[in-house]
Amino acid sequence: MSEESAEPTVPNGLTLARDLEELTFSPGVGDALQAAPAPIGFVPTMGALHAGHAALIERAAEAMSRRKGGTVVVSIFVNPTQFGPGEDLDRYPRTLEADLRLCREAGADVVFAPSARTVYPDEHLHPGGIAASVRVGGPLTETLEGSHRPGHFDGVATVVLKLLNMVRPAVAFFGEKDWQQLAVVRTMANDLNLPYLIESVPTVRDADGLALSSRNRYLSPEQRAAAAELPAALFAARAAIAAGDAPAEVERALTDRLSAAGFAVDYAAVRCPTTLGPPPAKPPYTVRILVAAKLGGTRLIDNVAATRTA
């Protein structure tokens, strides 16, 4: 559904807000925005929601039910500034009506689904619609996704900061599925002393191990079957680290296995979980193993933790 099309059916008990005014005056949000800290649990998404998103919303609902009057807000916004030229912005799946049902079932109270104009209002004044932005610099945003998707994390950091400031939640929830994004958001929150807690939620996987992703729906049935090799290779890499294989060796084996299975590997890296720099030289250590690989035209990313005790 395009964002300009007719208003969708909104399930009972859910408020759909399409601009800042509607958000501010939606039940629970208006009052909460006056209070400090606002008892709002916030889950930012790009829509095309699946059980991974539902896990975030359920976690937010659980956290908010412990706070009197807590409200769960989910944003659905396909943010153009985090897509590069030639990426899938135009064909990114838009399934608002089904998303609203999933939000309600998972425990959301408000869905904030703004138009691009609401988020980037001043197109006539500034290219891109805003003049200010935020940037997390340094190696964290230059490596891995940062080196394959130039400008991606600038778009992510800016839209996340804007959404946080619009919703002003007590807690915002992000998935471990996008590990580097989580690290970038945490760094932004720490470095700029943002008054929002950032919580992470483990990756939800299909029965065969494939991490749920809105982009999985691009896969043909054959590609979907082949995609299970990605988590299988990651889990094998995790076992190899635990067994004492050197990170560089594990990276090589992971790349070779995925290439042999028909993936075009962007990176397969064993890294420090927080800086995403090289892992410690000597065990014991816990590392993050991160992969991005294309299967046909679909780019998949995934990651797991791995620990070597001695």
- Measured CA to CA, the distance from residue 174 to residue 183 in angstroms comes to 10
What's the one-letter identity of residue 33? L
Residue 204 as a binder of ligand AMP (CB under 6 A): the answer is yes
**Is the separation of the CB atoms in 274 and 251 below 8 Å?**
no
> Roughly how many angstroms between the first and final C-alpha of the chain, as a whole number?
53
Which position has the token pair 């075009």?
264
> How many C-beta atoms surround the C-beta of residue 117 within 10 A?
12
Work out how close the CB of 182 gets to ligand AMP at its nearest, in angstroms, rounded to a whole number: 7
Which of 15, 26, 45, 303: binder of ligand AMP (CB under 6 A)?
Answer: 45
Residue 59 as a binder of ligand AMP (CB under 6 A): the answer is no
What's the one-letter identity of residue 82? Q
Stretch that binds ligand AMP, among 48-56, 100-108, 147-155, 255-263 (CB under 6 A): 48-56
Alpha carbons within 13 A on the beta-carbon side of 227: 30
Stretch that binds ligand AMP, among 146-154, 212-220, 245-253, 288-296 (CB under 6 A): 212-220
> Which of 243, 234, 236, 241 is closest to 205 using CA atoms?
234
Stretch that binds ligand AMP, among 4-12, 45-53, 125-133, 254-262 (CB under 6 A): 45-53
Which of 56, 144, 227, 306: binder of ligand AMP (CB under 6 A)?
Answer: 56
Q: Is there a catalytic annotation at residue 53? A: yes
Residue 175 as a binder of ligand AMP (CB under 6 A): the answer is yes
Interaction site with ligand AMP (CB under 6 A): 45-46, 52-53, 55-56, 174-175, 177-178, 201, 203-204, 211-214
What residues act catalytically?
Answer: 53
